[in-house]
Amino acid sequence: MKILKNTTGSIINITSLGLPIPASGQITVEVTDYMLLASSDSVTELSPLITSGDVVVNDGTEDLSVARGIAYIKHPDNAYSQKFDPTGSVLTETNTELAIKEASTTADTALNTPRYTLILQHNGTVSDNTFLGYSSLIPGDSTPVIVPTKSNLGEFAFSNSKSNADYTLEFRINSTTGTAFYSVSKTNTQFFVDDIIDQDFQQGDEIYVKYIDNGNNASDASVLLQFKALP
């Protein structure tokens, strides 16, 4: 719906539309006149009136700001003219075009942020100071896990077959002996997830995950590393 409100005490004649807006009144533009309302003559005539506040554009629910009001009359049949109800979503915009733009710039989903996983596995008992690799047949310290694309490690999951395992996991970049960028210790823990890591990698970086035994060894262990690609 497109409503033009006259905020003045005098009639405003919109010659391009052939319609008068009553003093302190309003008119509803018919759908059949949307193209006429969007014509260059109409926009040229209405824009200064909207800018001055003499005419206010309403979409049937609310009065629009100057910029949105002018845009609203310019676009007769596209997404900008369609209302959007953000209830139940994380979006705030109330028309379809702006809601789409908001989603495209703020959403962190597989649609605009590709994600991938790397899985490390170790069959049997995990010995102290073991570097977890692609498999127990490929030791992670001699055949490092390679990050395939520029990305950020944000989450990971660890699981093993023993409910009473005690261990520490240390994560390093490009070195088996350098300072760990992240470490975590667990007691009597079979599996857990962690989403507080925030570590960027370049394509081709090596990642080393070191298992340290703190008591009862883990067994048949798996680590799932969750990455999101970076531009």
Alpha helices for 75-215 (secondary structure H): 96-106
Its pTM stands at 0.56
Q: Are residues 55 and 140 in the same domain?
A: no
Establish if 198 belongs to a structural domain: yes
| 120, 196: one domain | yes
Start-to-end CA distance of the chain, whole Å, equals 41
Asked if 208 and 147 sit in the same domain, the reply is: yes
* The dihedral formed by the CA atoms of 198, 219, 120 and 108, expressed in degrees to the nearest 10: -40
> Where in the sequence is the domain holding 36, given as residue range(s)?
2-76
Based on the domain organization, do 156 and 223 belong to the same domain?
yes
Low-confidence ranges of the chain (pLDDT < 70): 76-84, 90, 95-97, 99, 104-113
- Please list the alpha-helical segments (H only) found in 23-65: 34-37, 40-52
**pLDDT tens column, 54-66:** 999 998 889 999 9
Q: For the chain, what is the domain count? A: 2
151 and 214 part of one domain = yes
In a domain, 125, yes or no: yes
105 located within any domain: no
Instruction: For 190-212, write each residue's pLDDT tens digit.
Output: 999 999 999 999 999 999 999 99
When the pLDDT of each residue in the chain is averaged and rounded to a whole number, the result is 88
Which residues, other chains included, contact 58 with Cβ-Cβ below 8 Å and sequence gap of 6+? Answer: 1, 2, 3, 4, 5, 26, 64
User: Cβ atoms within 10 A of the Cβ of 15, count?
Assistant: 10
Element holding 28 (H helix, E strand): strand 26-29
**The last residue of a domain, from among 29, 58, 76:** 76
**Single residue among 76, 100, 124 that ends a domain in this structure:** 76
Residue 6 lies in a domain: yes
User: What proportion of the chain, given as a percentage, has pLDDT over 90?
Assistant: 65
Domain boundary among 76, 97, 131: 76
